[in-house]
A and B are shown apart, each in its own frame.
Chain A
Amino acid sequence: MVSLDLLINAIVAGILLGGFYAAVTVGITISFGMLDIANIAQPAFILLGSYAAYIITYYVPVDPLVVGFLMLPVFYVIGMAVYRLYYYSFELRGEQSIQGLAFFFGLLFVAEVSLVLVFGVDYRFVEAPYIGPSLHLGIIDLPLRMLIPCLVSLVMIAVLQLYLSRSFIGRAILAVSQDGLALQLMAASPTRIKQIAFGISVATCSLAGTFLIIIQPVEPSIGRDYIGRIFAICVLGGMTSFPGMVAAALLIGIVESITATFYGPSWAPAVAFGFLLITLAVRPAGLAGR
């Protein structure tokens, strides 16, 4: 017999989780969906965001979300630098597939091991007044530490969507994702545009990482759980569509939450992987031979 109370709260928690997952995935929707760069190091950047929030709030008494916002330009610059390196090493040489993947894998790996060396394997967490209390609406519990990141995440995505569809650079990014040649004819350099886009995709990790450490304590190896989730959500959401991505994130969040509530939390990574396999099997049309 399934308790209705439990089920409803699992769904609600899933929705909040999904909002967070959308923030985690939006960077990949830009870098992989639009720029066709398989940045499997994305979870590493997110964890860097988490640890940045941790270390700064450790010394300076400020809200972790503020740190997330302040670090946006830093991560943006890091993103641009990484793209530069990627471009000169791989895109220019035309050797994109295997060496590029190995490069990002190396980054992912080096980041995780570096975090272990600097911070150790203990769980780290941040403190804020909204971590702990919950809103109670009837039988529904809304933990603030999940509600607030979810809301900020959705705002962030909405802002990005506006930027991409209204601003010149934003529209150039969308154009690049469809046809780099057309952009060259418009006398805008695709490389510069891609650099900006990749910078944005990494910048989102600053906020996503902050959300993560607000929602749960972090340690370096949890990045790996996110690979399957991120790409599952991106693919399921249609690769380039933000609304699709949000819907996919909500779906996966809900299924994961229900699985965790009724079967235990250790099965969560399998859920995302299952989704990934199903989406790859069922939606090959948009993915094959692009």
Chain B
Amino acid sequence: MRTGTFLIAAALVGLAIVVLTRIFFTNEYFFFAAYVVLQYIVLSTAWNILGGYTGYINFGTGAFFAIGAYSSAVLHKLPALLKTFDILIPAVPLPVMIVVGGIVSGIVGLGTGYLTLRLRGVFFAIATLALSVVVQTLIVNWDYVGGSRGIYIIRPAQAPLGGGYIQYLYTLMMALSVISVCIARWIERSRLGLGFAAIRDDELAAEAGGVPTLRLKLIATTLSGALMGMAGAPLPYYVTYLDPGSSFNLAYAVNSVAMPVIGGMTSWVGPIIGAVILGTIQQLATVTISSALNLLIVGVLLILFVIIAPNGIMGLISARQRRRAAIIEAAVQQRQAAA
């Protein structure tokens, strides 16, 4: 299926889901939960562009995500701040915030990459792990966005396109999911994706084959960071109270690693599978068990899958298909030999 066709198809599917669910579900809780699952689709897909496609693992999803969220907080407060200087601007619309969040996160991704990607992948991973701590430190010390006390964000009374505000957020996140999945699929089929795969499989050989490895890695990091920032941009309106608490960072970091690993890292389908399965389980579980236990299970699943099924659910499925094909081929050969 060509990329343009896929985009239209995915957009239609997304639109259909949004329209049907908004009509069918009157309980707001569905939209709260679905938002989180869609957010994880974006985060996992974004992570996988750098992780699964290019082979560079990023532990700092929380940092990029938080940058998106806090840049929205800054923009949210901007009209009030400018008013004190007698400059009047309207409230910044959320789609604009999403774009800005993406840009800022993308720049941070580019910067981190530029400083560490000339070295081995493990140093990039360590830098991303340290990055999330540092971003948290910066935010904690920044009073304009509330520092450690956090900041209250009031949702606008009116949601564009009618309906409740949470349904609006849900629709936006669906749009982001469609966009990020289409980008991931486009990459897979493009020359860029081939270059990413070459870097993942053998960076030295890729470089010797003419692939500008540093440039491609920077593209991957920037794109991945930007998408994560975009996923974080609507967060302040979702939670209405934004603070740099610890669970903030860690849940996003481990989930965005676990979901692609468990779903399957080699294609755009894997992160969706991981996000939907793990995300739904976690949303259902939070009402019954504590969030810490929730995260513990995700962590344990991550370890188990990494050891036992490193290619994830997609890998298990394709392994089963290959085994079936091999059995059939062997049976056919036996038949021919007997004949």
Q: Which residues of A contact B (CB under 8 A)?
A: 38, 40, 85, 89, 95, 97-99, 101-103, 105-107, 109-110, 112-114, 116-117, 221, 224-225, 227-228, 231-232, 264, 266-267, 269-270, 272-273, 276-277, 280-281, 284, 287-290
- In contact, B299 and A273 (Cβ under 8 angstroms): no
- In contact, B59 and A38 (Cβ under 8 angstroms): no
The proximity string for B residues 76-112 relative to A, scoring 1 for CB distances below 8 Å and 0 otherwise, is 0000000000000000000000000000000000000
A68 to B258, CA, bound (A): 34
**B27 interface residue per 8 A CB criterion:** no
- In contact, A107 and B129 (Cβ under 8 angstroms): no
- In contact, A102 and B119 (Cβ under 8 angstroms): no
Q: Which residues of B contact A (CB under 8 A)?
A: 51, 55-57, 59, 115-116, 118-123, 125-127, 129-134, 137-138, 140-141, 204, 246, 249-250, 253-254, 257-258, 261, 290, 292-293, 295-296, 299-300, 302-303, 306-307, 310
- In contact, B133 and A280 (Cβ under 8 angstroms): no
Q: A228-B126, A277-B127 are in contact. List 5 more A-B contacts (CB 8 A).
A: A89-B306, A103-B303, A228-B134, A264-B141, A270-B137
Chain A residues, Cβ within 8 Å of B127: 276-277, 280
- What are the nearest 4 A-B pairs in CB distance? A228-B130, A106-B303, A110-B299, A109-B299
- In contact, B296 and A113 (Cβ under 8 angstroms): yes
- In contact, B307 and A85 (Cβ under 8 angstroms): yes
- In contact, A288 and B120 (Cβ under 8 angstroms): yes
- In contact, A112 and B250 (Cβ under 8 angstroms): yes
A264 to B56, CA, bound (A): 35
Given contacts A112-B250, A113-B296, A276-B126, is CB(A290)–CB(B120) below 8 Å?
yes
A109 to B296, CA, bound (A): 8
- In contact, A113 and B299 (Cβ under 8 angstroms): yes
Interface secondary structure of A, over-half rule: helix
Chain A residues, Cβ within 8 Å of B138: 270
Point out the residue from B55, B122, B131, B292 that lies within 8 Å of A117, measured CB to CB.
Answer: B292
A98 to B124, CA, bound (A): 11
Chain A residues, Cβ within 8 Å of B303: 103, 106-107, 110
Given contacts A85-B307, A273-B134, is CB(A113)–CB(B292) below 8 Å?
yes
Point out the residue from B129, B134, B300 that lies within 8 Å of A270, measured CB to CB.
Answer: B134
Chain A residues, Cβ within 8 Å of B130: 227-228, 231-232, 269, 272-273, 276
What is the chain B residue whose CB lies nearest that of A263?
A: B141
What is the chain A residue whose CB lies nearest that of B254?
A: A109
- In contact, A38 and B125 (Cβ under 8 angstroms): yes
Chain B residues, Cβ within 8 Å of A225: 133
Point out the residue from A38, A102, A112, A288 that lies within 8 Å of B302, measured CB to CB.
Answer: A102
Given contacts A106-B303, A228-B130, is CB(A288)–CB(B119) below 8 Å?
yes
A116 to B119, CA, bound (A): 35
What is the chain A residue whose CB lies nearest that of B148?
A: A266
- In contact, A101 and B57 (Cβ under 8 angstroms): yes
- In contact, A40 and B126 (Cβ under 8 angstroms): yes
Nearest CB in chain A: distance from B282 CB, A:
13
- In contact, B57 and A266 (Cβ under 8 angstroms): no
Please, could you name 21 A-B residue pairs with CB atoms under 8 Å apart, sorted by A?
A40-B129, A85-B307, A97-B122, A101-B125, A105-B57, A105-B302, A106-B302, A113-B293, A114-B296, A117-B292, A117-B296, A227-B130, A228-B130, A231-B126, A266-B141, A267-B137, A276-B127, A280-B119, A280-B123, A284-B118, A284-B119
A102 to B122, CA, bound (A): 11
Point out the residue from B115, B122, B141 that lies within 8 Å of A277, measured CB to CB.
Answer: B115
Given contacts A97-B122, A105-B59, A107-B303, is CB(A273)–CB(B133) below 8 Å?
yes
A285 to B156, CA, bound (A): 54
A95 to B120, CA, bound (A): 15
Chain B residues, Cβ within 8 Å of A281: 115
Given contacts A105-B59, A270-B134, A287-B119, is CB(A95)–CB(B126) below 8 Å?
no
- In contact, B126 and A38 (Cβ under 8 angstroms): yes
- In contact, B246 and A221 (Cβ under 8 angstroms): yes
A98 to B107, CA, bound (A): 24
- In contact, B55 and A98 (Cβ under 8 angstroms): yes
- In contact, A227 and B126 (Cβ under 8 angstroms): yes
